[in-house]
Amino acid sequence: MKVPMKSLITILSIAMMAVGASSWADMDHDAHHDHAEAEVKTAEGVGEIRDIRAGEGTITLRHEAIEEYNMPAMTMQFVLDRAEVVEGFEAGDAVRFTMERKEGEHRILELEAR
């Protein structure tokens, strides 16, 4: 049976949308918690500093999985709770950290060398 080109394109774009939607869900793995989860909770994590931007108040960490937040291991940017948190640290340092998610922001509360 000959499938008209137009239906093929429709089928393809639906398939691509489905793939796109599922990979978006993976990337945004923790977003679905935001609505139900009004209270703030903290979590401990371990990782390595990739980049510090004290002027912008951010730090990029490669971190191991954080079960409390349902996060797999990844590299991501965090907001610094206070500028002093990163004092004495530099990119490449292995760290242990305490974080919280508040109003959709991931904040680093404490940083400790390991």
Place of tokens 């610094």: 80
Compute the least distance from the CB of residue 107 to Cu ion, in Å. Answer: 12
Beta strands in 1-114 (DSSP E): 42-53, 58-63, 74-80, 94-102, 105-113
The residues near 106 (Cβ < 8 Å, ≥ 6 apart) are 76, 77, 78, 79, 99, 100
Closer CB to Cu ion, 71 or 95, in the complex: 71
46 to 75: interface string for Cu ion, x by CB under 5 A: -------------------------x--x-
111 binds Cu ion (CB under 5 A): no
SS3 content of the chain, % helix, strand, coil (to 5): 30, 40, 30
As a whole number of angstroms, the distance between CA 91 and CA 36 comes to 35
Compute the least distance from the CB of residue 63 to Cu ion, in Å. Answer: 6
Closer CB to Cu ion, 18 or 44, in the complex: 44
Compute the least distance from the CB of residue 70 to Cu ion, in Å. Answer: 10
76 binds Cu ion (CB under 5 A): yes
Segment lying near Cu ion (by CB under 5 A), choices 32-40, 53-61, 76-84, 91-99: 76-84
Binding site for Cu ion (CB under 5 A): 71, 74, 76
